[in-house]
Structure 1
């Protein structure tokens, strides 16, 4: 009888123990104590799991007593396995450490921000992006709301805005892009050195008051703070880089320096314009840290870049037409050359003082310099012919009739010099879960330009009677001027966190006050976000964001089409409204999945009308318009395979503008108060990034990127506003294969004993895999019409064809 009774007691004990649930509470933080939101917490042995909320806190119900092992995952951090004792009344504080690896030459560590519209790109587990440009901008172009139709360029449009509406910071220093750039061929290296980047924050709209005055977006880059000696060398067909960093063992000094060189002639030779391309892009940057005490740190950062582009064109052949009409071939033969140089540099001295654990002061002085030179003399002679083409053609592309001949002579001697001197001071105070930040900045900009540009046209119909050579002064640009502009701004913003009965509430109110001259044109810009996280769904964020944003004219907005500067323009103004949803899910296989959706609207006043030709923005230099932009952005990202992340981005928008008054020159006004598409009105765009590896061969990875963007509006030269058509869609697929020969987890046998070699990878890329001819811009040719007059023919200028790249990276 004793045995059955003992058995019954044991069974009852097991049932009681199994049925008893214990609450496990904790908080997930980074090494600096900042909360890590939306981390996943799983108990592999028990099958239970949960997710941290926006403040990094979590609650998990576990069964039984004794110990339990938890696995904590967050994108951008190393996984943490920890064993805890159940039943102990304590609040766990679990620290995750950043996972830093190569991302298309971008070193990024994962984290998150308290402002939902300002996303810290947690891409540390992503491999090499197979793209022509690489770097941080290649990563941005994969995000929803970000549009780019030129693989040779680092410029991008955000939610219907122009290239000039995007703020870019490197450690608080505002970066200025070249102003005389016409195409991606000339652009060269980005100012952001990807090998020095530690993390980046990006907002496509509704950004807080501590960022400056632009209408569209902000990108904030933070360079790495070295902790030990490391070196990295990357060599490729298009770009090579060398980076060295280290920290002194006894003196509190750390330093990082990097040199880059880029040559894109292999890519440029695949375009439809043939010739002798000689691009040469060189860049060097460095940053030094000195910490005399534990609460005081100084830093000195500097950089210089020389992007030179030389081109001697020889010929261009383009076949165009439709299936229902005869095909035509344009053959252009060139003489002359182009020589462009873009020199810029910057220097920044900064100091940070931690008065206490709550109070921090920062002071920054910076200087930026630019010198741009654009010179060319190019004679073009062209033949336009009908060609034999189609299914029954015996001699494809053979000329059957001459439509016309003509020529042009283009001349430019354009120079731009500028310098920007600035001083910034700010303070940050923490009070419990709340923070308060105030700051002030003043800067002086000095610009001087000398412009001389004209074009002589001999149209294709000049052999007709009574038709002379066409020299139009409407395309002539002449000007020599200089100006000084003083700009000051101050801001105050807070981050307020509240625990409510239904969930947690985070509010970030702020206001920014700016003026162009002392006491003149004072503008007040209120901004803010509200985020709610339900207690019942801690992995869900619902948020509102908005504000009033101004953009003071820089240089291109002040210059009209004849080269005259108008320095007293009022700033453009936009109202942002964003409604968003973000949720982190834990799939059945314990794979983190994050979904995000944003609906937004922008209403713009005092809009300066402009047109885009390739990368060249041409403004009217007067606030004669207004516009509205509406859209939807969707993004889903997940680790479809362990250790590698993939994502899908989709965007829909509608951007329209209208003229509210006649333009100064009167010739391009068109109809007043009649809406028409903005130059960046891209109705739909999508980006896909996939990563995978072969099972059993995890050292071999495949990376694929795809872009699909519907056409944007374009207009003939000197056409009235409202006269437009759409370019063809932009479609592109790139693929890369990376072999890891040695890293933290894997090494070939013959490399294991080489202690000084930390990592060794080799990458092969196929660019424009489907060999799609994407249109960058148009060459306009005048031909005789059936009515005896003349008509304009738009001949596309195509971007790069299929190409390849090989890259080897060594880490020491």
Structure 2
């Protein structure tokens, strides 16, 4: 094995400012400094080497030295003699991510783009193929899948969402702390075997490994965050810690329901790294998160219908809801690179969540016609009631889940053309769950029992003599344990065909699991195998184009929520949903106005069997847990990104999707995520005469989703759609100082960047609906879908400062 050492340090200019993108090279090996000027390079030991430091704007520096085996040598060169002018250089190349069809998102974009729930998910929703119609939620659907079909990794460690969340209002903070992020990669389908067993997408996030001390704060009317980075003197230890607090009152109090409502969310995350030697490194990622959701609705009036026949739902509430979500997460990761071509990784993580959902809410409602006569004294009020009634909802739901993972991965570079990757993982899920939910509905003073009880009820014409029963009643206690073993192996190869370059990836995943339930018979042991492949070719053309085809067989073994049926009872033998993917894409890099641009277009098709059908109520998914359907999804996505304004990245995206399902051979109907058209825009600009003043625009347009159906109704009878989702968030920021804009003011001297901004959420004050509330008309016996509207226009002030 090779004798190696490591050289590292920080490169400064003559004014002691760190220099980014300095090339540090030894022979044919090299690296670049990051934005803090830090570099680290593994070099040969026990022989004389020449180290060259070069940058397009500075004179090169060279040192000659000899290092001992495993020695960490620190060197801090100072580069000077600035060159007057060097034109911009763009290298499109064929990076690994481009070949794999992975979208990379700049963390700076994530932190600056405005949104009601700012963060990584906020930016994802502007990408083609990613759909969401709820700005309060971090949930998203990809190419016809649902919210439970997306993989999320942080530093190669899988992270999870809470189980009992019913509404976007309850979600609060995403797991990912954007102020700690270094790299974000996203794949919307056709991903490699090394990623896990989900049907739709992969979000792969890497946290920053600090190189020097830094600190930052963000504060707004909706909360704030603080981040601290530290490094030991010998560069072996580093730590980044972030604290966040969020209060959604500003957003939720803008909704049509008047409430006494102050939801609060807080978390602490830390990443500790230890470089034991040039070969071995360790890290720990920890998170503590607590969400409190105290909700006391007062009144609501929703106007809907048509201009000629306006209708309103007026509701007066009594009662409250108190929910809590406490999450503890810890993960250890060790990387052993025993030579330049071979690497092993060991990962162990534990996720523990305690969740409670308690509410007793009485809603007394009137459904009636609205006085539309402008000159009338009762203009805008309900003057004729079509239906009156009340609804009493009760829940005492508790869940305690403990998930443990242990994983080993290997990476081996056989030669310059061939690589092999493999991994094996053990997972144990232990869930204790109690569900007590019931709902009593009366209309015009007469109680409505559940239709499935098949009691004859034609009140008020004849007296009802059947037993009293709630309209909905779910009671279940589940003690469920799931043991899983999964693994993968894949082969990567790059070669040439004449003057054309090509890349291949072939892999296979296996997954075995068994569900055990203390209150029922254990499930059968099940096993699935998932072959996957990718092929990319870059023709030797004048135009910089790359073509890809990828796909395979994808399985999603059921997670706990997919095992629970409509009554909350675990069905231990639910099968894995199976999907055959085919993705064909083109990647075209070019220059426009002498600036770099890229157009990526993809066509895809999915054939899904053993479908576990579901309904969506806000963001809560209820599965039928019987694998009684088949489905398909196909569509086309396109994204054009580049420097529409010099020095800033913006993009336009478009998506077309159609997805339908066939339950028990009754015919195809739209799936709950059948969102046909999508347009997204993320745009950054600044004033040429005032470069300190910057503007950010986040715009999303989605055609309407299916509006669902009333409880116990046949979804084949309800194929109505919600109105189109239209939302624009804009941010204005004045930058006092950053890495491009410097300031001579003394009070700004300690800061690396400092900015103050104004954000306007829902700029055009569009009324967007998330779901329908179904209300019965006692006279016509029909049911009306009353839209539940989301947030209106909201203003926010934001401060960002970093040391």
Change (3 A) 1:125 1:283: closer
1:511-526 mapped onto 2 (5 Å cutoff): 511-517=508-514, 520-526=525-531
Deviation at 1:27, TM superposition (A): 12
C-alpha contact (below 8 Å) 1:774/1:798 kept by paired residues: yes
Matched, 1:128 2:133: no
- The equivalent of 1:634 in structure 2 is 638
Deviation at 1:126, TM superposition (A): 7.4
Q: Which runs of 5+ in 2 are unaligned?
A: 1-27, 34-39, 43-55, 57-84, 447-458, 516-523
Partners of 1:498 and 1:737 lie apart in 2 by 48
From 545, 552, 556, give the equivalent of 1:540. 545
Partners of 1:127 and 1:420 lie apart in 2 by 30
From 737, 751, 756, give the equivalent of 1:757. 751
Partners of 2:145 and 2:109 lie apart in 1 by 31
- The equivalent of 1:709 in structure 2 is 702
Partners of 2:31 and 2:536 lie apart in 1 by 20
Partners of 2:390 and 2:138 lie apart in 1 by 32
Matched, 1:691 2:684: yes
- The equivalent of 1:488 in structure 2 is 485
- The equivalent of 1:378 in structure 2 is 361
Q: Give deviations 1:46-68, integer Å, cap 9, x for gaps.
A: xxxxxxxxxxxxxxxxxxxxxx9
- The equivalent of 2:771 in structure 1 is 777
Deviation at 1:112, TM superposition (A): 5.5
From 762, 776, 787, give the equivalent of 1:768. 762
Change (3 A) 1:744 1:467: farther
Partners of 2:254 and 2:157 lie apart in 1 by 37
C-alpha contact (below 8 Å) 1:125/1:643 kept by paired residues: no
Deviation at 1:759, TM superposition (A): 1.1
From 386, 398, 415, give the equivalent of 2:398. 415
Change (3 A) 1:401 1:124: closer
Structure 1 window deviating more from structure 2 (457-466 vs 646-655): it is 457-466
Matched, 1:609 2:626: no
Deviation at 1:295, TM superposition (A): 1.1
User: Aligned to 2:148, what secondary structure does the other structure show?
Assistant: helix
Deviation at 1:150, TM superposition (A): 0.3
- The equivalent of 1:558 in structure 2 is 563
From 794, 800, 805, give the equivalent of 2:796. 805
Please, what is the CA RMSD of the aligned residues?
Answer: 2.5
From 625, 645, 648, give the equivalent of 2:649. 645
Partners of 2:333 and 2:637 lie apart in 1 by 37
C-alpha contact (below 8 Å) 2:401/2:432 kept by paired residues: yes
User: Aligned to 1:294, what secondary structure does the other structure show?
Assistant: coil
Partners of 2:281 and 2:30 lie apart in 1 by 28
Q: Which runs of 5+ in 1 are unaligned?
A: 1-25, 35-42, 44-67, 76-93, 95-109, 661-671
Partners of 2:150 and 2:215 lie apart in 1 by 32
Partners of 1:122 and 1:747 lie apart in 2 by 22
Deviation at 1:754, TM superposition (A): 4.3
Matched, 1:348 2:292: no
1:11-410 mapped onto 2 (5 Å cutoff): 71-73=88-90, 113=97, 115-122=99-106, 124=108, 128-250=112-234, 252-325=236-309, 327-389=310-372, 395-410=378-393
Instruction: Tell me the TM-score normalized by structure 2.
Output: 0.84
Partners of 1:749 and 1:495 lie apart in 2 by 52
User: Aligned to 1:138, what secondary structure does the other structure show?
Assistant: helix
Deviation at 1:117, TM superposition (A): 2.6
Matched, 1:573 2:578: yes
Q: Give deviations 1:373-426, integer Å, cap 9, x for gaps.
A: 100000111122322116676642133322232111100000111111111101
Change (3 A) 1:728 1:33: farther
- The equivalent of 1:8 in structure 2 is none
Deviation at 1:328, TM superposition (A): 2.0
Partners of 2:356 and 2:110 lie apart in 1 by 38
User: Aligned to 2:89, what secondary structure does the other structure show?
Assistant: strand
Partners of 1:502 and 1:605 lie apart in 2 by 42
User: Aligned to 1:640, what secondary structure does the other structure show?
Assistant: coil
C-alpha contact (below 8 Å) 1:117/1:545 kept by paired residues: no
User: Aligned to 2:782, what secondary structure does the other structure show?
Assistant: strand
C-alpha contact (below 8 Å) 1:127/1:644 kept by paired residues: no
Matched, 1:681 2:674: yes
Instruction: Tell me the TM-score normalized by structure 1.
Output: 0.83
Equivalences, count:
706
C-alpha contact (below 8 Å) 1:112/1:119 kept by paired residues: no
Q: Give deviations 1:648-684, integer Å, cap 9, x for gaps.
A: 1110011000113xxxxxxxxxxx3411010000110
From 692, 707, 712, give the equivalent of 1:718. 712
Deviation at 1:294, TM superposition (A): 1.1
Change (3 A) 1:575 1:763: same
User: Aligned to 2:526, what secondary structure does the other structure show?
Assistant: coil
Partners of 2:29 and 2:108 lie apart in 1 by 22
Matched, 1:741 2:736: yes
C-alpha contact (below 8 Å) 2:642/2:650 kept by paired residues: yes
C-alpha contact (below 8 Å) 1:686/1:708 kept by paired residues: yes
C-alpha contact (below 8 Å) 1:287/1:301 kept by paired residues: yes
C-alpha contact (below 8 Å) 1:235/1:809 kept by paired residues: yes
